[in-house]
Amino acid sequence: MRVSIVGFGLIGGSIARALRRRGATGEWHITAWSRSRRPIEVALEGGVVDVAAATLEDALSRAELVILAAPPVTCLDLVGQIGGSLRSLLPEDATLTDAASVKVSIVARADSLRLPFIGGHPMAGREVSGYAAALPDLFVGRPWITVPGLHARFLDAERVSKLVEACGALQIQMRADAHDEAVAAISHMPLVVSAALVEAIAGGPGREEKADWRAVEALAATGWAGMTRLARGEPSMGAGIAATNAAAIAVRLRAVRSAIDEWLAELERKGGPDVDALKARFVAAKGRLEDSESQ
């Protein structure tokens, strides 16, 4: 199958590496294009891709499956271009998919342009970005959400399923809105909370560094590292996610704020906190996690 990967960072690079390592010889012909050319040149030199396209137009012209592996806002723009000024370059029987973590806005745009589109979201990632961080087994055993567009054909579903299987992932079909609400809870809201925690302790944008930040930072260990890991990711990716799934993230943030208000009420209880009540909250939280892990 002739695959064109548009965007070649962690996800696009990992897809290319997975197809090259896991696919049979000659099964996948991989073309890649990105605004940053150097990563693709490295992949070409390493035999991970077959063609380093000079332009987006070149990447589209002979593809059977086009994978948009860019941040959400960029994917929205690319869908608009492919369904508009570049439509004539996309082969009539080609399939379009993406790997962005937001689905409602992207699928809706593809539908409005009558594109043969199946939205995709491989539920895997790392806190580091770029092709240098790409791994061939990044998706193995992980869910890969698919959201068929209104104009997706049986052929499109077959191709995307083959892609998911080749990457070692587990395909799960969902509605776009259900997907965005779910990832807001377990991915996007934690990303914002991670950044907000840094702002609260170290200082926010346009503000002076907190007076005790350096002293506090010197004491930080695994707890702080774990809570702030997501804030170490690519800022432009985080901004795109927050902008394109804002409503769903806001709902989850309000739920977190409500829970924190309950903690504050207990911690500031007249006469001092009730240790048993605090323990009950910790027990309940641990129980929720362990119950889900045992299922």
- In tens, the pLDDT along 225-273 reads 999 999 998 898 899 999 999 999 999 999 999 999 999 999 999 999 9
CATH 3.40.50.720 in the chain, residues? 2-174
Stated pTM of the model: 0.90
pLDDT-above-70 percentage for the chain: 99
Rounded Cα–Cα distance for residues 210 and 231 (Å) = 18
Structure tokens at 150: 């209104």
Cβ count near 253 (within 10 Å)? 16
β-pairing, 170-173 with 143-148? parallel
Could you report the per-residue pLDDT of 196-236, keeping only the tens digit for each? 999 999 999 999 999 999 999 999 999 999 999 999 988 98
Q: In the predicted model, is pLDDT for residue 23 greater than 90? A: no
Quickly count: other Cβ atoms within 10 Å of residue 285's Cβ.
11
Q: What are the φ/ψ torsions at residue 150 (nearest 5 degrees)?
A: -65, -25
DSSP 88: G
pLDDT of residue 147: 98
Q: Which of 57, 32, 55, 56 is nearest to 44 (CA)?
A: 32
| Token pair 């907190």 in the structure block, residue | 210
The residue among 175, 182, 20, 50 whose CA lies nearest residue 108 is: 175
Please check whether residue 37 is in contact with residue 52, taking contact to mean a CB–CB distance below 8 angstroms: yes
Average pLDDT over residues 131-140: 95
Q: Band of the pLDDT at 295, cuts 50, 70, 90?
A: low
Q: Tell me the C-alpha distance between 104 and 121, whole Å.
A: 12
Average pLDDT over residues 161-180: 97
pLDDT classification of 125: cutoffs 50, 70, 90: confident
Name, in order, each residue with C-beta under 8 angstroms of 256's C-beta and a sequence gap of 6 or more. 189, 193
Q: Which residue has the tokens 């570049």?
A: 86
CATH code given to domain 2-174: 3.40.50.720
Residue 180, both tokens: 């965005």
CA distance 147 to 157: 10
In whole angstroms, what is the distance from residue 58 CA to residue 293 CA?
Answer: 46
Q: How far apart are CA 241 and CA 172, in angstroms?
A: 21
Looking at domain 179-294, what is its CATH homologous superfamily? 6-phosphogluconate dehydrogenase C-terminal like domain (1.10.3660.10)
Q: What is the mean pLDDT of the chain?
A: 95
For residue 191, the model assigns a pLDDT of 96
- The reported pLDDT for the residue numbered 294 is 67
Mean pLDDT, residues 31-50: 95
Pinpoint the residues of the chain covered by CATH 1.10.3660.10: 179-294
d(CA 63, CA 214): 52
Q: How many CA atoms lie within 13 A of 41 on its CB side?
A: 5
